[in-house]
Structure 1
């Protein structure tokens, strides 16, 4: 069950996306970056805390009591979305792709006052709509929520038409979602995380309906400094984006996520930490560590703890060094420039890494933007390589 949702506020013209065959026998769904993205480091940490809060070791992050501090989902925490269509004829929606959750949801015509300015799915206009009627509800630590009823319809994922896909039709969404221009979320994690047990996820159906022969999807998240954008390749991967040897890494999916083991974190040849588990999560922007791990890393970069899950760091990337994560015998880099997340109005800078009181790390986009990842839910495993051209 997804325990937090933060949807990117992205203002671009809606276009339909068609799948594009790539050289590794897959189908490509392009992503779009968010040119109006406004960073908020504290919100990023709190958003992720609520997502994984049942594993939290306490109810606080630094001096913040997470149970009492409002979680502000301002709609601009994620930078990527894709256009997909539901129904026959297709109705187009803007969805965040999230490997840290498993539900496919968006608002429908049963959503009245809370869905102003949203794109609403109209089941009466789809000849392939099928009624389910079971209720679903996603609730969050700050009281925000989305809820509604289940249905089934054809789901066109960039030209791959999944028949009778279970969809979560929202008839109520919280103010946080109302403020976002994005319509909903496509969860890509394992089906043990769905809000209603027994639902087949879109990834499940891609495989069971034999729409892809290769049971993988490759993820490239672009960087603004390199033109932005991005893509998901279902049924393969984009070899042109792989900038080195692919390393195969075992996945622990016991909690429904793509969790892997990190041997250590190092910088300039000096080992900074011991081993820990980490979740590969495209729905999280930050690179969040357990606090004891984060403090060791922060000490290396002379970063100051702000007491809210974030650190203040030197604004001059040339005075920092690259961070490296050792995974399955290989090292994967987070460049010094990406250790700087944002500049405050007072001229100080917030680090791209932070902490939360989990016994595991959350490897969000700060890590994923620098490495190409191929997810394989059937083994399960991932393959990781440095991203080409960065």
Structure 2
């Protein structure tokens, strides 16, 4: 099955750290896949669904850019940081790839189905103060939690449909898979745009750097590490799969999901020196072992299904794919019978190639031309400069470890 056609929905089991293959002391959440229809039942590609995905990503990364500006400004002025008032809210639009699991919040615990997104940083829930605009989402009841503390921070964002989302930042106890952080920032949404109210989870847990947070908040693994947990293994690991092997592990990894020895890469900061995304510089796609596009920074993001490149870089890539044809400004097709031999190399270590399986790369055939398939490399300007975005089409092929102390990314082939 094609990676872009699915989401992970969390009717899940918690796996104890006593299992022999897990890092001692780590905790893991198992995930389950669900088809969201980017690929039609007959195996053809759903072009409107793909267009909606690129539109959603444009909004997500616009919010991230605004958050980066706020963060850079307030890092220079601690007083201003404490006074941050109206900021963009990062609760996602309806997703085409949602990786969710059970997370408990508060005292006593309230349990939610949460989307884990390595391409953002806020933890956002619908609150009991949100009425009709939050739909059927389970509400976070701050009054029922003895550990909830309201802060002075508020976030707000406007959507193209004319509605807005508003939230107040609380701190509370958060437990994910047995890993517990106290005083974790949570955006308790009091109003949700109609654009996001249909999201198939109760909220989003961002896993990236604080600079992407609308409230300047640390995401969960950063909080756990700051509180002295997982000193030996201050990282979380993600395995995305559509064969029942998907999971996220806090404080270590699962050797049963790793094939070979992990290769570690440094997280590349933004030009201003601030770390933002889980990204690697001096990287490039390769076709049949040869560079297929200019060298650039590549971002790992579990919050999208696709591989997104700037339009010029995507055009350069597809010019190296035999038989490729432009379908639109964003999408290209290739002969279904002759998929490209695609891999990525990071930080100029191109001898180590991370391959993308044909099943991950193929988004489906064209109904009007069944011998032509749409490829997962899309051209779209997300405001990321020359950077590429590697979503599930890449991440389902690898096991990824994210070290929040050493600021590095570990990759291995996935089992």
TM-score with structure 1 setting the length: 0.84
1:208 aligns with 226
Q: Secondary structure at the match of 1:180?
A: coil
2:389 aligns with 362
Matched, 1:93 2:112: yes
Among 183, 189, 202, the alignment partner of 1:170 is 189
Is this contact kept in 2: 1:216–1:234, CA < 8 A? yes
Matched, 1:30 2:54: no
- Using the alignment, how far apart are the partners of 2:64 and 2:151 within structure 1? 32
1:257 aligns with 277
2:340 aligns with 321
Tell me: CA distance 1:15–1:248, structure 2 relative to 1, closer, same or farther (3 Å): closer
Among 350, 354, 358, the alignment partner of 1:332 is 354
Among 121, 126, 131, the alignment partner of 2:145 is 126
Q: Secondary structure at the match of 2:34?
A: coil
- Using the alignment, how far apart are the partners of 1:138 and 1:164 within structure 2? 24
Following superposition, the deviation at residue 158 of structure 1 comes to 1.1
Is this contact kept in 2: 1:262–1:325, CA < 8 A? no
Is this contact kept in 2: 1:45–1:310, CA < 8 A? no
Q: Deviations over 1:19-59 (max 9, x none)?
A: 54553232212222123444522122222223334899xxx
Q: Deviations over 1:226-265 (max 9, x none)?
A: x145111111111121112321111123351112124432
Is this contact kept in 1: 2:12–2:29, CA < 8 A? no
Q: Deviations over 1:263-287 (max 9, x none)?
A: 4322223332231111111112101
> How many residue pairs were aligned?
358
Q: Secondary structure at the match of 1:293?
A: helix
Following superposition, the deviation at residue 314 of structure 1 comes to 3.0
Among 253, 258, 281, the alignment partner of 1:237 is 253
Q: Secondary structure at the match of 1:300?
A: coil
- Using the alignment, how far apart are the partners of 2:342 and 2:403 within structure 1? 26
- Using the alignment, how far apart are the partners of 1:10 and 1:236 within structure 2? 21
Following superposition, the deviation at residue 140 of structure 1 comes to 5.0
Matched, 1:307 2:328: yes
Is this contact kept in 1: 2:7–2:36, CA < 8 A? yes
2:46 aligns with none
Tell me: CA distance 1:355–1:143, structure 2 relative to 1, closer, same or farther (3 Å): farther
Is this contact kept in 2: 1:94–1:184, CA < 8 A? yes
- Give runs of aligned pairs for residues 1-390 of structure 1, distance below 5 A: 14=11, 17=14, 19-21=16-18, 22-25=21-24, 26-39=26-39, 40-53=49-62, 75-139=94-158, 145-197=164-216, 199-213=217-231, 214-222=233-241, 224=242, 227-253=243-269, 254-301=274-321, 302-316=323-337, 319-328=338-347, 329=349, 330-346=352-368, 347=370, 348-357=372-381, 358-388=385-415
- Using the alignment, how far apart are the partners of 1:246 and 1:50 within structure 2? 34
TM-score with structure 2 setting the length: 0.79
- Using the alignment, how far apart are the partners of 1:9 and 1:277 within structure 2? 26
Two-structure CA RMSD over aligned residues (Å)? 2.5
Tell me: CA distance 1:96–1:380, structure 2 relative to 1, closer, same or farther (3 Å): same
Following superposition, the deviation at residue 320 of structure 1 comes to 1.3
Q: Which runs of 5+ in 1 are unaligned?
A: 1-7, 57-72
Q: Quick check: 163-172 or 199-208, which moved more?
A: 199-208
Q: Secondary structure at the match of 1:47?
A: helix
- Using the alignment, how far apart are the partners of 1:191 and 1:370 within structure 2? 27
Q: Secondary structure at the match of 1:45?
A: helix
